Structure 1
Amino acid sequence: MADSATGSTQDVDAETKPGKGPLIYRQSIWTRITHWTWVICLFFLLFSGLQIFNAHPTLYIGQQSGFEFDNSVLSMRAINTDTGPRGQTTVFGQTFDTTGVFGMSGPAENPHFQGMPQALTIPSFRDLATGRVVHFFFGWIFVGALLVWFVASFINGHLKRDLVPKGDDLRALPGDVKAHATLKFKHGRSYNPIQKLTYFLVFVVLFPLIILTGLTMSPGMDAAWPWLLDIFGGRQTARTIHFGAMLLLVAFFIIHILMVVAAGPINELRSMLTGWYRAGPETAKREGDRP
């Protein structure tokens, strides 16, 4: 995951600097536009989604939920104790005191009794209506950007060439894991096996999954596409899967940023801003290539 995200062509600059590899036009304009669109959208989707989650900070498996059911897998709430209110989080039946973070947060003289702390929600105060408006607005922009990316990547061959893992990638995976563990990155035209597998899972699995589970929570979409409820096992299960997919995307983002920093942030950012990427010295320049 060391070499920035998505899309490439194979043109190089006319001259290679001594001791450095060629400058490759690696990221297409469609890749760059959709990449930064997703960055903005996911920021607002994450924190507005946590605002929505706070309206009922409990996740369930199954079609129904409520006091008479015992199918919750995650719950964040405040409880009264002999020493005063405390924040409590329950995960798969295991209960943890999370005072100050989940269930109860904020200053001791004026605590906030909600699942996620206000610092992690948009708006920062409790406002479900505004949170939903922000979430749906950026959600549809996110969907549009994904459709544009799929069409462009199919037409220019990026999807098949750079993201679909092949047999050679799987065979090279153990060595690539070792190289990443020792921070030895190769800067070339092609994505390494870890990149291919990771980006394939994100763009082809996680992105569609988080969109479809989001649609499943909409009564209007359930009426139009009732098969969504059958696929995801009910609206409450879809909500839980949606939350889990969000956590995986957050983990991907953190690791992605760490790998970008480790691999050379200036080169990586230049690639995603201008399209040009400085390959390693081992990358041979092809005769006749032009910018």
Structure 2
Amino acid sequence: MDEIAAPISPPTKRVYRHRLPTRIWHWLNAVTLLILLMSGLMIFNAHPRLYWGQYGANADHAWFAIGSTPQTGFVRIGETRIETTGVLGRWTDTKGVEQTWAFPGWATIPTTYSLADGRRWHLFFAWVLSIALTLYMLWALLGGHLAKDLHIRRGEWSPRHIWQDIKDHARLRFPRGEAAARYNILQKFSYIGVIFVLLPLMILTGLTMSPGFNATVPWLLDLFGGRQSARSVHFIAAWALVLFFLVHIVMVLLAGPVNEIRSMVTGWFRLPPERDAAP
């Protein structure tokens, strides 16, 4: 009786997916944004209230606040108040001492309250972010990355195409074969939004909060509607970046962390076989 040959798996194809500037900027950004977030939370602890307009102080109505009562911690958004005892507003430090700073020490740089040190960390890495972003944007434009990888083509603007990509992501049906070598439409929207909207917005609102810079570029105050509005936009944009980061990590884990991380370290990505060709 003839033996039945076992199906042969198709050879795995490798593609050079991420060029060196993208990989360097990716990992530099990961460290930089983490430090900026944690030092920013320390700065926020100095006055954990947000306002709209030119001015804002303790006596003014804040649209967002993290605070405490003698017994509880809370977050207030508009008129909605949420108890956050033990997490935000009122929490216990590693020595068992109850603290009433907005964000706990494990989430801030430095871990103990120091507005001066928080500002030093924040301002230094803000320069790192600004310079790196400027260089990366120039490279993306002049080096062809924007046109080759991030350009949204006519067919991708189709509502049907976008909706199909949303459904595929919801069903965890990730691209396979040659399609996996390219950014899908949701990735393009996300990366363009981060590179050309959120990060520049963070930098511009940060500059708007600087009284010294206001003297040089006063129109930024008008653009954002005042220093307090700029601070609110800065805070919102920061948490939008955190949301992007969390979704990004989840997608990497679901799509195959070894292959995804290896490609961002070496540049080389193994294409998953097509579904109809998979063994």
Note if contact 1:48-1:134 (Cα within 8 Å) is conserved in structure 2.
yes
Corresponding residue of 1:30: 21
Distance 1:125 1:67, change over 3 A: closer
- Which of the numbers 156, 166, 178 marks the counterpart of 1:177? 166
CA distance in structure 2 between the aligned counterparts of 1:88 and 1:255, rounded to whole angstroms: 26
- Which of the numbers 97, 103, 120 marks the counterpart of 2:107? 120
Corresponding residue of 2:63: 73
Corresponding residue of 1:96: 82
Corresponding residue of 2:127: 140
Map Cα deviations across residues 160-195 of structure 1 (whole Å, 9 max, x no partner).
222232331222111111111111111433211111
User: What SS does the corresponding residue of 2:92 show, helix, strand or coil?
Assistant: coil
Note if contact 1:87-1:102 (Cα within 8 Å) is conserved in structure 2.
yes
In the superposition, the TM-score normalised over structure 1's length comes to 0.86
Note if contact 1:20-1:279 (Cα within 8 Å) is conserved in structure 2.
no
Distance 1:198 1:20, change over 3 A: farther
Partner letter of residue 235 of structure 1? R
Partner letter of residue 185 of structure 1? F
CA distance in structure 1 between the aligned counterparts of 2:174 and 2:262, rounded to whole angstroms: 17
Map Cα deviations across residues 102-156 of structure 1 (whole Å, 9 max, x no partner).
1111159621011111111111100111111011111111111111111111122
Pick which of 27-36 and 156-165 moved more.
156-165
CA distance in structure 1 between the aligned counterparts of 2:207 and 2:191, rounded to whole angstroms: 23
User: What SS does the corresponding residue of 1:76 show, helix, strand or coil?
Assistant: strand
CA distance in structure 1 between the aligned counterparts of 2:16 and 2:97, rounded to whole angstroms: 54
CA distance in structure 2 between the aligned counterparts of 1:112 and 1:124, rounded to whole angstroms: 12
- How many angstroms does 1:246 deviate by? 0.7
Pick which of 103-112 and 212-221 moved more.
103-112
Partner letter of residue 64 of structure 1? Y
Unaligned 5+ runs, structure 2:
1-7
CA RMSD of aligned residues (A): 1.8
Map Cα deviations across residues 238-263 of structure 1 (whole Å, 9 max, x no partner).
00110000111101101100100111
Corresponding residue of 2:189: 197
CA distance in structure 2 between the aligned counterparts of 1:18 and 1:94, rounded to whole angstroms: 57
CA distance in structure 2 between the aligned counterparts of 1:51 and 1:67, rounded to whole angstroms: 18
Note if contact 1:48-1:132 (Cα within 8 Å) is conserved in structure 2.
yes
CA distance in structure 1 between the aligned counterparts of 2:187 and 2:32, rounded to whole angstroms: 22
Map Cα deviations across residues 66-93 of structure 1 (whole Å, 9 max, x no partner).
24432x111111223xxxx321221112
Count of aligned positions:
262
| 1:120-269 → structure 2 map (5 Å cutoff) | 120-171=107-158, 172-187=161-176, 188-269=180-261
Note if contact 1:165-1:193 (Cα within 8 Å) is conserved in structure 2.
yes
Partner letter of residue 98 of structure 1? T
Partner letter of residue 227 of structure 2? R
Identity across matched positions, percent: 43
User: What SS does the corresponding residue of 1:54 show, helix, strand or coil?
Assistant: helix
CA distance in structure 2 between the aligned counterparts of 1:165 and 1:194, rounded to whole angstroms: 10
Partner letter of residue 50 of structure 1? L
Corresponding residue of 1:44: 35
Partner letter of residue 207 of structure 1? L
Note if contact 1:57-1:76 (Cα within 8 Å) is conserved in structure 2.
yes
In the superposition, the TM-score normalised over structure 2's length comes to 0.89
Distance 1:21 1:177, change over 3 A: farther
